[in-house]
Structure 1
Amino acid sequence: MTTQHQHLVYGHATAHDCLAFADACTATEEAAEIRALAAAHTWGEARQIRVTHLWNPAGPEYHEPEDGYGDDQPFDITEVGAVADGNWPPMVTKRAFTVLPQDLQDRYGKRQVTVHDGDYLEIPLECEAELIAELRQRGYEVTRDDELINLLDGVNLDSLTA
């Protein structure tokens, strides 16, 4: 059995009512990008947000100023097409495919197919203790943070638009 030295963050993803996992090394940076975009007051401010881990759904490649998205126009993250359609940020429950070992994906999860957003791994909440114990036994550092997981999933973005 291969021993890993990876730090994962996980939690209850409320949108799918299951466990979700993310790379803890980038999760807080991604969350900061989401918060920054949500806090923008104008389209110009939103366009200026530099993202490293995600794509900017308010970027000029998606919303041209001449199409009514001028720099001085009010910005509301929840009204951006990609956000309203559920395409941004990407489903956090997809990440288990890349951060969890294949044998644990097979044992604890079930691949679910969505019409618009692709597949995700549904890991039932009742598997938490056993799965986390196995990850730790393999050398993973695992931290639970429901708030972070749900922010990465785009839950309650409207509460960040203060």
Structure 2
Amino acid sequence: MTTQHQHLVYGHATAHDCLAFADAGTATEEAAEIQALAAARTWGEARQVRMTHLSHPAGPDCYEPEDGYGDDKPFDIAEVGAVVEGYWPPMVTTRALDVLPQDLRDRYAKAVHTVHNGEYLDVPTDSEAELVAELRARGYEVSRDDELINLLDGFSLGSLTS
């Protein structure tokens, strides 16, 4: 058994009704990027949001001012194509494929294939205690934050600013 020294954050992913795991080292910064974009009031403000961890679904290479998305035009994240289509932010449930050890994925979860967004890991909520205990026994630091997990998933993006 390999010992890891990684900090994971996890929580109940409302959209998939399962547990989701993410790297705690970047999760808060990624959530801040999502919140910053959701808080933009105009397309100009949206284009100014700096993305270092996530792609920019409202960036200049996606929406040109001359195509009707001028800097002073009202911006609503819930109307951005990648958000509407479910591509942005990426499903939080996909992250477990990268951060959980393969043997634990095999034992506690199942891979689910989606038509449009690829594969994600369905980690049943009833396996929480055992899985978290195993991770901690391997040296992982594990903390639960449902709000952060759902923010990373873009759950209720249209209402983030209300």
What is the match of residue 123 of structure 2? Answer: 123
1:161: how far off? 2.9
Matches within 5 A, 1:1-162: 1-162=1-162
- % identity of equivalent residues: 77
RMSD: 0.7
Q: Distance in 1 between matches of 2:135 and 2:161?
A: 36
Distance 2:70 2:115 in 1: 33
Segments of structure 1 that go 5 or more residues without pairing to the other structure are none
Question: Could you tell me the TM-score, scaled by structure 1's length?
Answer: 0.98
Residue deviations 1:39-95, cap 9 Å, x none? 000000000111110011000111111111111100000110000111000000000
Report the Cα distance in structure 2 between the residues aligned to 1:94 and 1:123, rounded to whole angstroms: 11
State the SS of the aligned residue for 1:103.
Answer: helix
Partner secondary structure for residue 126 of structure 1:
helix
Structure-2 separation of matches of 1:74 and 1:160 = 16
Distance in 2 between residues matched to 1:160 and 1:141, nearest whole Å: 29
- Long gaps (5+) in structure 2: none
| Whole-Å separation in 1 of the counterparts to 2:60 and 2:135 | 41
Contact 1:77–1:161 (Cα < 8 Å) also in 2: no
C-alpha distance in 2 between matches for 1:157 and 1:95: 19
Partners in 1 of 2:25 and 2:68 — Cα distance? 37
Runs of 4+, deviation exceeding 4 Å = none
1:10, 1:22 within 8 Å by CA — same for their partners in 2?
Answer: yes
Q: What SS does the corresponding residue of 1:75 show, helix, strand or coil?
A: coil
**Number of corresponding residues:** 162
